[in-house]
Amino acid sequence: MKKSLLALAAIGFAGAAAAQSSVTLGGIVDAAYAHVSAGGRSASGITNSGINSSRLYFRGVEDLGGGLKAGFWLEGQLANDVGFGGSQTTGLDFRRRSTVSLMGDFGELRLGRDYTPSFWNTTVYDPFGTNGVGQAMTPGMMGAANAAANSGNAVRANNTIAYFLPGNLGGFSGQFQVGFGENTGGVKTNNYVGFRVGYAAGPLSAHYAYGNTKGATSAADVKYNNLAFSYDMGAVKPMFFWGQEKAGNGAKVTGMEFGLVAPVGAGELRAALSRYDVANSSNDWNKMALGYVHNLSKRTALYGTYARVSNKGAQVMAVSNNGLSAGASSAGGSSTGYEFGVRHAF
């Protein structure tokens, strides 16, 4: 009898808690057939994350009263083409995002592993969202000039504390973040500081971001600067992105991308043209991409993308996607790729 009463009490407590909080399970499964070629070689196969990153997430919010809320977000990568989690050798983890937050009229205070402010412009203002063969190959372009530079926080950073301005500022927004590297043995590697500020209201969206990552030595430090904007004219939404990555030893890469998204029937046309300049070098490269996404419903879409990289000097950049690669291009040569896939969100 005691066990039954305890069980009923537990159920009643859970029901009361549920009235004040909510938990959501969701994700994306994206798979495609892709073909890439470079340096006289080619590769074909099934890949994942052609237009959206495949993922599984758990997130929840609890209303604490008085306008204060607490929330969590745990999100892991899915390699659904091979049935594993974040990689082909490990199970599911939460390296995409793992945060806990306090939210209110003051904004949001967020702690954990998260995207860096200096990453956001590279995906928001890329018609291909840094996914698939069409992505603009930013961030992390510093590797073309200095392979020793620390690009560990080009997308996400560990051990971060972030503050987000409230969302009722008439379209103005701001994000400020500090990340602490593990600092093993007193070496301050992967420490990060950055911010992103901007405006988005009506058809106009414009943002500036800055980030600084510490390497094992000052020569490996990397500073990120990028500026981007878009304007939705209804029939077409043009985008522009300018970004620069500079290492502590003076190596520097500057990238520019012109993109557009245009609704066509039940889908949209996507196009991008980007150029990358390596300072004090002729080893530059260009990339063009063209794609179409056809929406079968609000959650399911079919898509196709074609991309081409043209290298200069001794540059060997190549088109690839999530491990499907034909290797590096021949010095100063070209590389192409295409993919056809399906994406389902749940």
Query: In angstroms, rounded to a whole number, what is the distance separating the alpha carbons of residues 244 and 232?
Result: 25
Angle at 266 between CA 262 and CA 271, to 5 degrees: 30
pLDDT at 10 over 70: no
User: Among residues 292, 299, 263, 338, which one has the least CA distance to residue 30?
Assistant: 299
Mean pLDDT value of segment 137-156: 87
What's the number of CA atoms in the CB half-sphere (13 Å) around residue 246? Answer: 10
CATH code reported for the domain at 42-345? 2.40.160.10
Average pLDDT over residues 129-133: 95
Residue of 52, 44, 59, 56 whose CA lies nearest to 83? 56
Quick one: what percent of the chain has pLDDT higher than 70?
93
Q: Which two tokens stand for residue 126?
A: 């890329």
- pLDDT range class, residue 144, cuts 50, 70, 90: confident
Average of pLDDT values for 171-179? 98
| Residues 144/314, Cβ–Cβ less than 8 Å | no
Q: Which residues pair with 69 in a beta bridge?
A: 63, 103
Q: How far apart are CA 18 and CA 25, in angstroms?
A: 15
Query: In the numeric block, which tokens belong to residue 318?
Result: 């190549």
**Residue 185 predicted with pLDDT over 80:** no
SS3 assignment, position 50? coil
Whether the predicted pLDDT of 303 surpasses 90:
yes
More confident residue, 17 or 326: 326
Q: Write out pLDDT tens, residues 54-108.
A: 999 999 999 999 999 999 999 999 999 988 876 666 778 999 999 999 999 999 9
Q: What is the mean pLDDT of the chain?
A: 92
- The answer to whether the beta carbons of residues 125 and 241 sit under 8 Å apart is yes
